[in-house]
């Protein structure tokens, strides 16, 4: 198998990263994709940075052992806390996280207006989005809010209705009331795109959402093009690895992928 035909490895702590895989499949239909969800050890968002880094390295090595041409870290917590360690350990393999593409898209859309970020506790504590935004736009106001309840709601499929709306309002109402008022809201967790419609309703028409899954897919496409690694065609294959509960992965994963997942295509691995 030539390098172009090698799969893109996609890693997340669980199933939220399937929103990134969905965006990759839409934008890059010819690419083969190998997804690993560490469902035995989720969530990562409440764990220490050292633990997140250790888990991420073990997952990354499991993917590289199978042969991949790029690693996409489809987890904001890992991107915020372990990306430098992953980049160093896997060099020269290209590694792309979700935070920098999301930050770049937010700055482009903001036109100088304040930016708000909702994410997991780990991502917020790491300050990764604030650093990434201020590295490019030092004077741009950024506020952030951990929104942990949105993760289990997404995994239970409660992405619309009163429960989802109340949970979103709990986090967004005080966040968006800060002065000056944010006009851009970054969905800083890969679980959150499945709640996009509810979040948009609560945020109101004056607030634009930035989906890190879509921005990451664009970054992957650009990197593949620069490296000459694009796989031509329209029939890329997808395979899934999970560290626990493959039946639940297939069932719940469909919410995030936006398409059925064949249980026979989910392989259990031990990290």
Question: Which residues are known catalytic residues?
Answer: 75, 189
CA distance readout (Å), 260 to 8, 18, 181, 266? 20, 12, 40, 12
């Amino acid at each position: 198998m030539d390098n172009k035909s090698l799969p893109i490895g996609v890693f997340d702590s669980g199933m939220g990263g399937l929103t990134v895989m969905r965006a990759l499949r839409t934008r890059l239909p010819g690419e083969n994709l190998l997804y690993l969800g560490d469902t035995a050890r989720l969530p990562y968002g409440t764990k220490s940075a050292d633990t997140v880094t250790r888990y991420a390295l073990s997952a990354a090595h499991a993917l590289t052992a199978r042969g991949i041409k790029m690693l996409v870290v489809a987890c904001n917590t890992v991107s915020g806390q372990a990306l430098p360690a992953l980049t160093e350990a896997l060099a020269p393999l290209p590694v792309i996280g979700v935070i920098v593409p999301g930050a770049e898209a937010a700055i482009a859309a903001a036109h100088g207006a304040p930016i708000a970020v909702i994410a997991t506790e780990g991502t917020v504590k790491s300050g990764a989005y604030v650093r990434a935004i201020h590295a490019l736009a030092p004077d741009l106001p950024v506020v952030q809010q951990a929104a942990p309840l949105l993760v289990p709601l997404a995994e239970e499929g409660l992405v619309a209705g009163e429960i989802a709306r109340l949970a979103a309002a709990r986090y967004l109402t005080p966040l968006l009331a800060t002065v000056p008022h944010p006009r851009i809201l970054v969905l800083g967790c890969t679980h959150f795109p499945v709640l996009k419609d509810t979040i948009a309703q609560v945020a109101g028409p004056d607030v634009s959402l930035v989906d890190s899954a879509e921005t990451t897919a664009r970054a992957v496409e650009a990197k593949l093009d620069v490296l000459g690694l694009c796989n031509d065609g329209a029939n890329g294959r997808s395979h899934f690895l999970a560290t626990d509960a493959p039946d639940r992965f297939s069932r719940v994963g469909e919410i995030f992928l936006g398409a059925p997942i064949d249980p026979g295509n989910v392989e259990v691995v031990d990290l």
